[in-house]
Amino acid sequence: MRTVLITGATSGIGLSIANKLHKNGFAVFGTSRFPEQHQHKVAFELLPLDITSEESIKNCIAALSVRTVVIDVLINNAGNDLNGSAEETSSTLARQQFEINFWGTVNMTKAVLPLMRDQKSGQIITIGSLAGLVGIPFQSFYVASKHALEGFFKSLRFEVKPFNIRISVVEPAFFKTNLVQGFSYAEPTIPAYTKDRENALSVYSNSIKNGPSPEPVADVVLKILRTTRPQFSYRVGSDAKTLPVIQFLSYPLYEWGAARRFNI
């Protein structure tokens, strides 16, 4: 029975992964900023965590270490999405996006690395995004944070391989989650962008609201954990598999298709 710590495990993709692993015999611990509000809804233990706070991360790992001798797997899932044009987005909001999506994930990862090095084994799976592979209109800083995670974990994979620590990133396309309810928006808005912004964000939001269940993402995570030699990248969903290929073969074709799809 391997011990798994999953950040952001109370809804959406994180909850789907936690439930899948719990049902398949893993010792699952999830995290939430407000675990007392969700504990009665889930079958696994929740630990308090705010990934933007290094003190909270330290306390979370300490609490987990009391409950288990070994931390076998970290699944980085917590994050949010900042919407708006780059020009409309203040540096404060942009930095907050990186504090959550990039630095929160990085600091969580760094917190478990000493434990995994000491035990000479471990696995870190990060839930990235199609947005870490392609450009998406009016998602500039969200996309930038996901691209940054791709580069970070590609490099980290080299560094920790000698310690038998395995690194993978899962890149889902559009799946039905509560991400839309947690959207942040750039303010004040600039009228010149209004039409294209509203069109693009409407398509983007509807793609999430009307997407399939995130169960396939959980299936892929389980597959990774059962694989002897996991690869770095796992793309889930038709868009995640086809759009990066189109972009690689012909960027003008990808750009034309994306502009048409997002109605801009």
Per residue in 228-240, pLDDT (tens digit) is 999 999 999 999 9
| Residue 92: domain span | 3-261
Q: Residue ranges of the alpha helices (H) in 43-193?
A: 54-67, 91-98, 104-119, 140-160
Instruction: Count the domains in the chain.
Output: 1
Confidence of residue 191 (pLDDT cuts 50, 70, 90): very high
CB 47 within 8 A of CB 30: yes
pLDDT number for residue 3: 98
The CATH number of the domain where 140 resides is what? 3.40.50.720
Q: pLDDT (tens digit, 9 = 90+) per residue, 23-77?
A: 999 999 999 999 999 999 999 999 999 999 999 999 999 999 999 989 999 999 9
Averaged pLDDT score across all residues of the chain: 96
Does position 107 have pLDDT exceeding 90, yes or no? yes
To the query of whether residue 234 is one of the catalytic residues in this protein, the response is no
Which residue among 142, 204, 234, 254 is the active-site one?
142
Mean pLDDT of 163-186: 93
Cα angle 33, 38, 42 (rounded to 5 degrees) comes to: 125
